[in-house]
Amino acid sequence: MVETTISVIKADIGSLAGHVVVPDFLMELARKRLKEGVQKGIIKDYYVANAGDDLELIMTHHKGEDNEEIHQLAWDIFNEGAKLGREKKIYAAGQDILSDTFSGNVRGMGPGSAEMTIEERKSEPIAIFMADKTEPGAFNYPVFRMFADPFNTAGLVIDPNLHQGFIFVIQDIKQSTPHFVEMRCPEEMYDLLALLGSTSRYTIKKVYRKDGLVAAAVSTDKLHQIAGKYIGKDDPVAIIRAHSGLPAMGEVLEAFALPHMVAGWMRGSHIGPLMPVGLKDSRCTRFDGPPRVVGLGFQVHDGLLLGPVDFFEDVAFDSTRQRAMEVADYLRRHGPFMPHRLDEESMEYTTLPSVLTKFEKRFSDQEIVPTGKTTDTSDSAE
């Protein structure tokens, strides 16, 4: 049987009026180039979307994962778009393009990618989740709930085809070389949670059924780690298969009913609720957020994409959004205080080293009692 590969490759190559939304001309460019990609036989089908300021290329083909031609196609679109964006002086044009030369795969070059190769089942419903203003670990909580939490996924208890559980492949993204570990659930659930709870370090790369069928793929690209300095968050994507021995689509979506806390938001340095939204609300505004996720559903057939259905546009997620905004109000009142602001290590912007340098000479091994005299700072001393 012919295998179909779903590749979602994304990058922030510039946005409109701040880190808000992908401009239309970039979406049009992507559609045009991907259509040509179909005509040239590089890809089978495509859909272009945006998650806030991130341009999302959803592609299907029969060339397998990490395929050079597919990655090149995405890379060329991002570069052409960035060039056009620079001409129009859009905001942060070329933000996620960190290299001048292409080396065969977008991994490690700025863009993010999630890919999965499947043998199409009798019916193949999939969901693509795309988030903005957050990091790959943002998917740990919902993907765990989909595939491992019986309070979320009834099928784990009542469907004989799910009852045996799933295998999670976890990546330690703090390592400079690839580091993966496989954990079986439910047998090793507590070990799995020990890792997955550390969302800034351990992220889910893939989920498999115990018989080896692939069920989920998440992008784990850590942008600021690649660049060595802050240039943007690693806004992630995930591909999830549903039904027939996998969680039902309703169980997949149920995992987003709680607007859970994620790292990102303003300057990639704050925690905030992940708010599920329809494509029409896929734009980040308040305090550059709050962090958002869009979810599109497709049926894959013979490598083609039927759809999408814009899942979170549904009124069933209104109360989740309402709660997210209440949480956002509450958190914002903490201003620069942790835990709304991330800890020093996780912050991607920080003035702390320069503040400490400025005050270096004023630190003392004795408790200081102010004398009322003018303080002698290194800045003002003669």
Under the rule (CB under 6 A), what is the footprint of ligand 13P?
Answer: 12, 19, 52-53, 95, 132-133, 232-233, 235, 248, 250, 266-268, 288
- In sequence order, which residues have a C-beta less than 8 Å from that of residue 34 and are 6 or more positions away? 43, 46, 48, 57, 59, 73, 77
Which of residues 162 and 324 has its CB atom nearest to Mg ion in the complex? 324
Residue 250 contact partner, candidates ligand 13P, Mg ion, none, CB within 5 to 8 A by sort of partner: ligand 13P
Cα gap 56→221, rounded to integer Å:
15
Please state, in angstroms and rounded to a whole number, the distance separating the CA atoms of residues 232 and 328.
Answer: 21
Residue 206, contacted partner among Mg ion, ligand 13P, none, CB below 5-8 A by kind: none
Return the residue of 29, 44, 53, 294 that touches Mg ion, per CB under 5 A.
53
Least distance to ligand 13P from the beta carbon of 132, Å?
5
| Closer by beta carbon to ligand 13P, 22 or else 128 | 22
Encoded amino acid at 122, one letter: K
Residues in the chain: 382
CB contact burial 167-205 (16+ within 10 A = b; e otherwise): bbbbbbbeeeeeeeeebbbeebbeebeebbeebbbbbbb
Q: How far is the CB of 234 from Mg ion (least distance, A)?
A: 9
Near Mg ion by CB under 5 A, which window of 52-60, 67-75, 163-171, 342-350? 52-60
State the catalytic residue, choosing from 66, 159, 172, 230: 230
Nearest to 251 by CA among 356, 146, 346: 146
Query: Hunting for tokens 């395929």 — which residue is that?
Result: 67
* Contact call for residue 12 and Mg ion (CB under 5 A): yes
Q: Which does 145 bind (CB under 5 to 8 A by kind): Mg ion, ligand 13P, none?
A: none
Active site (annotated) includes residue 280: no
- Tell me the closest approach of the beta carbon of residue 238 to ligand 13P, in angstroms: 17
Q: How many residues bind Mg ion (CB under 5 A)?
A: 7
Q: Is 233 a catalytic residue?
A: yes
Residue 208 burial by Cβ neighbours in a 10 Å radius (0-12, 13-18, 19+): middle
Residues near 178 by beta carbon (within 8 Å), at least 6 away in sequence: 171
CA–CA gap between residue 73 and residue 62 (Å, rounded):
15
233, 234, 235, 288: the active-site residue: 233
> Of 12, 32, 19, nearest to 82 (Cα)?
12
CB of 156 to ligand 13P, least distance (A): 13
CB of residue 239 to Mg ion, shortest distance in Å? 19
Least distance to Mg ion from the beta carbon of 365, Å? 44
- Nearer residue to ligand 13P within complex by CB, 19 or 107: 19
Listed residue (242, 36, 271, 223) closest to 129, CA to CA: 242
Which of 71, 283 has the CB closer to ligand 13P?
283
* 54 near Mg ion, judged by CB under 5 A: yes
- Active site annotation includes 141: no
Distance, in Å, from the CA atom of 229 to the CA atom of 348, rounded to the nearest integer, reads 8
Give the separation between CA 113 and CA 56, rounded to whole angstroms.
9
The residue (of 56 and 149) whose beta carbon lies closer to Mg ion is 56
Site for Mg ion in 218-277 (CB under 5 A): 235
C-beta closer to ligand 13P: residue 52 or 142: 52
- Pick what 283 binds: ligand 13P, Mg ion, none; C-beta below 5 to 8 Å, kind-dependent: none
Task: Please answer whether residues 287 and 332 qualify as being in contact, where contact means their C-beta atoms are separated by less than 8 angstroms.
Answer: yes
Q: Using CB under 5 A as the criterion, which residues of the chain lie in contact with Mg ion when the complex forms?
A: 12, 19, 53-54, 92, 132, 235
Active site residues: 12, 230, 233
